[in-house]
Amino acid sequence: MSVLDPRLGRHGHRPAPSLSLWDDTLRLALARVHEVCGTARRTLALRIAAAAGGPVLWIAPARSTASLNPSGMAGMLAPRDVLFVTADRPADMLWAMEETLRSGAASVAIADLSDPPAMTPVRRLHLAAEAGAGTGPCRPLGLILTPGAGGAPGVETRWRMDPAHLPGHDRWRLERLHARMAPPRAWTIEERPAHDAEAGTPAPAAWLRV
């Protein structure tokens, strides 16, 4: 289930529903399409999908050599919550993402692309996500994964994540490169082991800003 912002904005208007990753400085508007780039883009996409909750549709190229390793989902998403789909062409990947968003049947639809899409497909994805929010059980969130610094036009936000590991510390540099309602900003994120006090066993690792 997506985490919604319960607060009311100025003049009694409710702000657009959004997903919070860590706090109010890291939010993603639901029923919109966001871009995730950088060498750790798939790791960030998994964290976003975990925060949103299932079901998740992950669309990848049929002949990709950089497929997602299911073991990398450990501690973030249950395999049963993710449906993997492959397509031969980027146009087919975008079509599958558009139809998924329009149905509102998945919390997150992810397209792992080799290049940023053009403006027209991005607009269609936004419209599909808005339609799905009104008719389906979820307020779907769309993620476009692109290499390098990204550059898809018309996205709601663009995020980049790259490894910044230190000896004994799993760290990443997270950057907000573009957002309609927020300035560019960067954070250092660290993954730290968590512990379930009630069960007395290790819990999924926590991501903390440092």
* Tens-digit pLDDT profile for residues 178-204: 998 899 999 998 887 664 445 444 345
Query: Taking 50 as the threshold, does the pLDDT of residue 104 lie above it?
Result: yes
pLDDT at residue number 77: 82
* 182 vs 11, more confident: 182
Q: What is the dihedral of CA 85, 82, 176, 61, to 10 degrees?
A: -20
Q: In what order do the strands lie in the sheet with 141-145?
A: 82-87, 56-61, 108-112, 141-145, 33-37, 157-163, 170-179, 185-196, 201-209
Task: Identify whether the C-beta of residue 145 lies closer than 8 Å to the C-beta of residue 37.
Answer: yes
* 191 vs 131, more confident: 131
Query: Taking 60 as the threshold, does the pLDDT of residue 172 lie above it?
Result: yes
Distances (CA, A) of 149 to 33, 35, 37: 17, 10, 6
At 183 the three-state DSSP class reads: coil
Instruction: Kindly state whether residue 77 falls inside one of the protein's structural domains.
Output: yes
Instruction: Kindly state whether residue 6 falls inside one of the protein's structural domains.
Output: no
171 residue type, one letter: R
Instruction: Kindly state whether residue 25 falls inside one of the protein's structural domains.
Output: yes
Task: Identify whether the C-beta of residue 77 lies closer than 8 Å to the C-beta of residue 46.
Answer: yes
Query: Taking 70 as the threshold, does the pLDDT of residue 118 lie above it?
Result: yes
81 residue type, one letter: D
Considering Cα of 51, then 52, then 56, then 57, what sign does the dihedral take? negative
Instruction: Kindly state whether residue 134 falls inside one of the protein's structural domains.
Output: yes
Q: Which of 11, 38, 6 is nearest to 174 (CA)?
A: 38
pLDDT at residue number 191: 81
Instruction: Kindly state whether residue 118 falls inside one of the protein's structural domains.
Output: yes
Instruction: Kindly state whether residue 122 falls inside one of the protein's structural domains.
Output: yes
* Tens-digit pLDDT profile for residues 44-61: 999 999 999 889 999 999
Give the chain's mean pLDDT: 85
Alpha-helical runs (H) found in the chain: 41-52, 90-103, 119-135
| Domain coverage including residue 102 | 14-163
Instruction: Kindly state whether residue 145 falls inside one of the protein's structural domains.
Output: yes
Instruction: Kindly state whether residue 191 falls inside one of the protein's structural domains.
Output: no
Alpha carbon distance 158, 131 (integer Å): 22
**Which pair of tokens denotes residue 111?**
């397209």
pTM of this structure: 0.85
Least confident among 90-94, 98-102, 168-172, 205-209: 205-209
* 8 vs 66, more confident: 66
Report the CATH number that the domain containing residue 115 is assigned in CATH: 3.40.50.300
Domain count, the chain: 1
